Structure formats: structure tokens, C-alpha cells
Amino acid sequence: MAYILKTLNSWFWWENIWMPINCTWADFVDRDGLVFPKPHQLYATIPYAFVLLIIRFFSERYVAIPLAKALGIKNVRRVKPQPNPVLESYFRECSRHPSQSDIKGLAKKCNCTVHLVEKWFRRRRNLEIPTVLQKFKEAFWRFSFYLTSSIVGFIFLCDKPWFYDIWQTWVGYPFQTLLPSQYWYYMAEIGFYWSLIFTLGIDIKRKASACGDFTAHVVHHLAAIGLMSGSWCGNYVRLGTLVMFVHDTADFWLEAAKMFNYARWEKTCNMLFIIFSIAFFITRMILLPFWILRATLYQPTYYSTTPVIAYFLFNGMLLILQGLHLYWGYLIFKILKRFVFLKDLKDDRSDEEEEDSVTDTEEESTKSGNKNSS
């Protein structure tokens, strides 16, 4: 087994995969003031991810919750339905939305009224839906990170020549020194996406009809980590920082729109979503394909006539991301079209809590009905 792992490791780090011809890993030893990215440094992104999770916990608790209260968002405590094995079994194994005939049959089995069975399913469905406060806290965390990374990214990049002239990303390649700002930019971004992977099980999920959107997010997170890690190992750091900056500058507008949507500030939400849509189409549909992809697909041919394998891996992951952008652009276009013609920016993929107007008398009836059922 040790021999197999050693062989696979030697194949994975074969020089012809990662660097131009006549270059070896020995050429990337720090020397003469030059510092190069090293693959083993990527291990640090895992503990950085847990640091970000700790920051997220405190920011949500001590900033997001007070802000939500200031915007009028209340922490609603949902009433759990009375334990009922018959209804619970039907809910899990058959349907969350039983037909009227099924409700009547379940009411006879449980020895209670049809209205109480409907109420039980309504409450049970509500338990599956995250509260508005939960949604607000998650949107606040993403907004905070994307806004911070956009501001910091601009500060890191604004004085660099490759921020204005994309050709400069290849000048001196592959012997381009790693700057401290690039190191921390990469560690924070990769750590953030690792933290999103770690919290996939507890973060808000879309309803079943949007499982494709959930899958797209998982693919996006994994592709982003793979892309950033690969660009780090191949020293495509200059291009990598540009890709990260282009992505983050649109995302915080969307998270801000979500926050005001949860607070029911409709006009502010609509305005922010329109700004996000404009930023999304500029960055993901214009700058990324016609500026950055042009630099990664076309410009390297001027510096080498024999592209290395990393060239295809790097561009393959970028093209995957671009495909996801086209998918999300289509969804955004559908929402904007509905807004133009129907004046409605509601996202059909979001679950909404159903009203639960139940009196104390009905509550007592449910308890007695459950006793009879058992």
C-alpha cells in the first residue's frame, strides 16, 4: 500500500503536469528574495476554515441577530405538532402534502377531525423550513465575507500592473514571486469554501424542486476549491486573484438583497437585486469569458508552444464555472423577466412558512385525539 501511495504521489507531482518544459520542482525553492507558492501550504486552509466558522458563529450571534431585530425580523418559535406515529410515518414515507381523501382516511385512523390532521401536517411542514432569522443570519455571513473580500481584494490588486493589463499575468512566468497579500487572499478564499462544504448539512437547503440548484452549489464549491488549489500549485496566482475578485464583487449584492427581502423591505430588495443582476452579467458574462478566459486559453500560446497538462486542468475547471454561470444567469433572467412583466421578484425555489392559526381548544382536542390513537 505504501508503495502504491508513493507511486501515485510521484505521478501526481510529475513536473510535466504543473510547469513548463525544462522546469523542475527544484527551481521553485525560495532564493534571491523570490518566494514561490508551495503545495503543502494548502493544508493550512483546513484550520483557517474552522477559524472562519468560529468568526461566523460570533458574527451571527452578536451582529446578525441584533441587526435582524433592528430591521423588524422576529425570532418566531414554532409550535411542534403533537407526537403521532401514524401521521409521522405517512409524512416521512408517503407525502408531505396528502390529498383530501388521504387526510380523511388518516383522520379516521387517528380518531380526530380532518381539520386537526391538516393542522398537524401544516405544523410538521413548517418544522422542515428554516426560520426567517436563520435565513437572515446565513445571508449576513456570506454578505460580510464577500464584501470584505471584495474590498480587501481591490486594495491588494489596485496597484498591480496585471489588474489593468492582463498580459502582465504571464510576464516572468513561472518564476513569479508570491506576495504576502496573495498568500492571505488565497488562504481566506479557500478556507471560506471549505467552511461552506463543512456546513452543507446544516445550512439552508432549497426545496426538492430546486435540487439541481443545490447540486450546482456543491459542484461550484468543489470546482472553486479545485481551481484555486490547482492555480496555487501551478503558480497561476496572478490570474487566480483576478478570478476570485471578479466573483466576489457581484455576490455581496445578492446577499444584501436577501437580507432586505427577509426584512420585507421590498423596494430596497428589488433595487439591490437589479444591481446584483447588472454586476453578475458584467463580471460573469463579460469579464470572465472575454477577459480572464481569453488570458488563460489564448495568451499562454505566446509563451509556450507545448502547453502543460495543468493548462487543460486549469481551463477545464474555469469552463465548468462558466457553465454554472450560464445556468445561474438563466435563472436570474427568468426572475428579471417576471419582475418586468409582473412586478414580482419572488424566487419560486424558496419555501414559505404556512400560517398556523390554531386555538387552545383545538390543541387540547389534538392531545385527547392522540391518546385515543395510541
Compare 13 and 197 and report the one with higher pLDDT. 197
Residue 117 lies in a domain: yes
Residue position matching grid coordinates 503536469: 17
pLDDT tens per residue across span 23-81: 888 888 888 888 999 989 999 999 999 999 999 999 999 999 999 999 988 877 777 78
Closest CA to 80 of 118, 124, 128: 124
Domain membership of residue 49 (yes or no) is: yes
What values do phi and psi take at 31, rounded to 5?
A: -165, 155
Q: What is the mean pLDDT of residues 103-112?
A: 84
pLDDT at 15 over 80: no
Clarify whether residues 314 and 339 are in a common domain: yes
Bigger pLDDT: 261 vs 355: 261
What's the average model confidence in pLDDT over 131-144?
92
Residue 217 and residue 334 in one domain:
yes
| 112 and 194 within one domain | no
- At 105, which CATH number? 1.10.10.60
The upper half-sphere exposure of residue 3, i.e. CA atoms within 13 Å in the direction of its Cβ, equals 0
Residue 364 has pLDDT above 50, yes or no: no
Give a yes or no: residue 238 inside a domain.
yes
Residue 156 lies in a domain: yes
Residue 343: predicted pLDDT: 64
Instruction: Answer yes or no: do 105 and 240 share one domain.
Output: no
Beta bridge partners of 31: 34
Q: Are 164 and 212 in a shared domain? A: yes
Q: What is the mean pLDDT of the chain?
A: 83
Contact 250, 279 (CB under 8 A): yes
In the prediction, which pLDDT does 8 show? 75
Q: Please check whether residues 92 and 203 belong to one and the same domain.
A: no
Answer yes or no: do 196 and 89 share one domain. Answer: no
Whether 2 maps to a domain, the answer reads no
Residue 185's domain comprises 35-72+130-347
Give the cell for residue 171: 510576464
Q: Do residues 280 and 336 share a domain?
A: yes
At residue 19, the pLDDT reads 76
Mean pLDDT computed over 294-299? 87
pLDDT value, residue 263:
92
Question: How many domains does the chain divide into?
Answer: 2
Comparing CA positions, the residue from 311, 255, 260 lying closest to residue 279 is 255
Instruction: Establish if 136 belongs to a structural domain.
Output: yes
Residue 304 has pLDDT above 70, yes or no: no
Q: Is residue 365 part of a domain?
A: no
225, 303: one domain: yes
Q: 108 and 52, same structural domain?
A: no
Q: In the block, which residue shows the cell 523542475?
A: 24
Confirm whether 141 is domain-assigned: yes
Q: What percent of the chain has pLDDT over 70?
A: 86
Both 121 and 136 in a single domain? no
Which pLDDT tens digit goes with each residue over 173-217? 888 999 999 999 999 999 999 999 888 777 766 543 344 456 767
Tell whether 102 and 250 lie within a shared domain: no
Q: Rounded to whole angstroms, how far apart are CA atoms 220 and 185?
A: 19
Per-residue confidence band for 159, with pLDDT thresholds at 50, 70 and 90: very high
Q: What is the pLDDT of residues 312-332, one digit of tens each?
A: 888 888 888 898 899 889 989
Lowest mean pLDDT among 12-26, 225-239, 336-350: 336-350
pLDDT confidence band for 255 (50 / 70 / 90) = very high
What's the full length of the chain, in residues? 374
In this predicted structure, what is the pLDDT of residue 208?
Answer: 38
